Amino acid sequence: MNARIAGIGYYVPERIVTNEELTKVMDTTNEWIVERTGIEERRYVDKHKETTSTLAAEAAKIAIERAGLTPEDIDFIVFATLSPDYYFPGSGVLLQRHLGIKGIGCLDIRTQCTGFIYGISIADQYIKTGMYKNILVVGAEVHSAGLDFTTRGRNVTVIFGDGAGAAVLQPTEDETKGILTTNLHADGEYAEHLAFYNPGTHGGAFLKDQGGLEFPDEPDLGGMHLTQEMLDKEAIYPHMNGRYVFKHAVEKFPAAIEEACEAVGCTADDINMLIPHQANLRITQMIQLKFGFEDERVYNNIQKYGNTTAASIPIALCEAWEKGLIKEGDLVCLAAFGSGFTWGAAMIRW
Ligand code: UT7
């Protein structure tokens, strides 16, 4: 028994933030952002009205309706995010509440950019064992709430945007259809190269010798309670060693795609549509070049939404499907790399 995507939806906040708008608060330019990342604009929530779980609920409602279901039919939720509404509980239970479903299990997962691929892999296993029938897998992020809107944070801030994507997975008797394989990888050796340290239980001293830490000699700059010193030293923002991440991404993306091809006995030439995590247009172009994919076989929307981490693959997959670029019988490959480091791929026969 395979799991297939029975319904898919996405939702992005209305507010468009152009590169030009960012130049008003930090030392950056439209040219730099477009040239280095491909991003032209991104969406930000109205922080008084929207949260990660409300974005997720909008995307989920569309996916559920397209699957021909009502929220009561969902029997398990997998919620991927690095920007939850609360430190705890996870956003899965909040999504469950928004949808008005009581009693079903909700699992929050924290594998960042690879979250949707981990999520559908988990759903696939539950469906294969017969444990659940209608699983909602969601990736949602509100990055705008946590970014550093000064020049100091510009290498991270210009990249990220808010949004949500969702899919309902169901069993199919047709073994040639649905999720054919997933591969999941991680290497915690690189955890601090793309991380949001505070609040956290680490205490700065523990991380003293770890690569990528911005505040290695300041043990007080870690902890669950934000201190005035942390605020003064701006130790409250995400940290990214951009070039280092880039270097690993262009190796791991192709490795995960090749592994998925091998698992299903095909070559990259057989892939009808590659939906890469929208990290940086330059990363995607390098992958495209490596495999010789024509433009029509790779979907990009980073230009409009920036990098929406766990939401990026389901948003792109849904948009490509809505545009008629994915048809029944197509071989669709999802691939991602990001914080953790985590990476992986999935191969789906649509
Ligand atoms: O989805 C999660 C995974 N994340 C990724 O995959 C991100 C991977 N990395 C990247 O996408 C790229 O490394 C970035 C887009 C983040 C940065 O591009 P880069 O070409 O690697 O630039 P850089 O960090 O090496 O910085 C080059 C220069 C620096 O100035 P100097 O030292 O050469 O004078 C930066 O200070 O560009 C400067 N810079 C900026 N300038 C204008 C960094 N950010 C900006 C900015 N505007 N926003």
Q: Could you identify the residue written with the tokens 């898919």?
A: 8
Q: Domain 2-172 is of which CATH architecture?
A: 3-Layer(aba) Sandwich (3.40)
What is the predicted pLDDT for the residue at 213? 55
Model's pTM, two decimal places? Answer: 0.96
Residue 245 Cα: closest atom of ligand 1: 8
Domain range list for the chain: 2-172, 197-236
Specify the pLDDT at position 227.
82
| Residue 151 pLDDT exceeds 70 | yes
Calculate helix-pair angle for 115-129, 312-322, nearest 10 degrees: 80
CB-ligand 1 contact for 350 (6 Å cutoff)? no
The dihedral built from the CA positions of residue 137, 282, 211 and 183, taken in this order, carries a sign that is positive
| Nearest by Cα to 77 from 175, 157, 166 | 166
What integer pLDDT is reported at residue 99 of this predicted model? 98
The reply to whether ligand 1 has any atom less than 6 angstroms from the CB of 30 is no
Is the pLDDT assigned to residue 56 strictly greater than 80? yes
- Atom 43 in ligand 1: which residue has the minimum CA distance? 155
Q: How many residues does the chain have?
A: 350
CA distance 30 to 168: 37
pLDDT in tens, 193-239: 899 988 888 766 555 555 545 554 555 677 788 888 778 777 889 98
For ligand 1, the distance from its centroid to the CA atom of residue 95, given in whole angstroms, is: 34
Give the other-Cβ count within 10 Å of 291's Cβ.
19
pLDDT tier for residue 98 given thresholds of 50, 70 and 90: very high
Cβ of 36 less than 6 Å from ligand 1: yes
CA distance linking residue 96 with residue 293, whole number of Å: 39
Helix (H) or strand (E) holding 103: none
Kindly report whether the peptide bond that precedes residue 216 is cis, defined as omega within 30 degrees of 0: no
